[in-house]
Chain A
């Protein structure tokens, strides 16, 4: 401590140590707050249509459009260290060869109010979002989801281009907790400490329907929603 420079150095060193330890403590508090996620997911209307992966593609693939209903309680996942919750629904099935397939059909970013300002939203939507939790920094109620006959965000296919009449498909609800600092967590198969495994969250097995016979529809799918889907086929 013999010069301003070493003083500055020491102060900075001490500051980083304190910040690091504080961060570790905050991250550790996650382990102490109970998690009791649960959900019920059901399929509604399912269609398989023909479409092209993108406008200029000459190839036609089959796309499954799975509508679903979801009722979930993920409110326990919101704590002071939760930055956002990423909720997503996957369709899972096994191909004849015994290989597993999994594809996201719907997802949603749910921010804690402390992270609202980071969302990529228009000014109106942002205002509304901020208003919805005015004065609060934690908003567990945002973890209560109720979707009826929800249209999927992503139409899914398989690299082979064939997906119609696939049997034993399930929908599964997943979440990913993004902390402000610390370890990222996903839904677990087994409970860990005060964190419970997801109750429910899996649909009954279902079979994708046959291709819609008259495919005047196929053309429409090319620019549907965000599906910049695959042109598939690897050599």
Chain B
């Protein structure tokens, strides 16, 4: 993983790479992944494909006239299966990229989306605890925060996003939790300067309090 260079201008590529990183990370934390959704999708798709292949075979070998009825049935079945597949992907899977259970028993479902012309990775993470109560965590981060400028995926910041936003993940990987202040300092070098200055003791109280205000903001 991560050795793959992709085009930073290709939103689908960015999303796919990030999507692939989620199961890698969560499974490494001993989450147990459930493949039910994708297995149903694959089942529907491959059944449809097999029907089509069979139809192609008899049509090729026996000709159109003799196999008309079977072809008609195959077309109907194929349409049904393809409809079911579309339905499944649109209304059941709905962009789910990961489903699994944490070692401590919480169920987690991760849905990822992107919007056209907006390089932001949006995650909607549903966590269901053992008492079947669920809550949804929404995360939206620019892809730039976990891709370097030449198009390589960088795992650490990506994992930090997940661990910080989702307590269930954070608990299993505390090293990746970023304190908010830390985050802020990284994002705002000016602030860092201010704090450094304050720590040096060379500044006035006004500066320090200003820094404090910003921190809260």
Contacts and interface: CB of A to CB of B under 8 A. Distances in A.
Q: Do A and B touch, yes or no (CB under 8 Å, in the complex)? A: yes
Interface of A: 1-3, 6
- The dominant DSSP class at the A interface is loop
A3 B12 CA distance: 13
A1 B9 CA distance: 8
10 contacts: A1-B9, A2-B7, A2-B9, A2-B10, A2-B11, A2-B13, A3-B7, A3-B9, A3-B10, A6-B10
In the A-B complex, the 8 residue pairs with the closest CB atoms: A2-B9, A2-B10, A2-B7, A3-B7, A3-B9, A2-B11, A3-B10, A1-B9
Given A2-B9, A2-B10, A2-B13, 7 more contacts: A1-B9, A2-B7, A2-B11, A3-B7, A3-B9, A3-B10, A6-B10
Contacts, number: 10
Interface of B: 7, 9-11, 13
A3 B9 CA distance: 8
Nearest to B14: A2
A6 B7 CA distance: 12
Nearest to A6: B10
Contacts of A2: 7, 9-11, 13
A6 B11 CA distance: 12
A6 B9 CA distance: 11
A156 to B, nearest CB: 33
A56 B36 CA distance: 78
A4 to B, nearest CB: 11
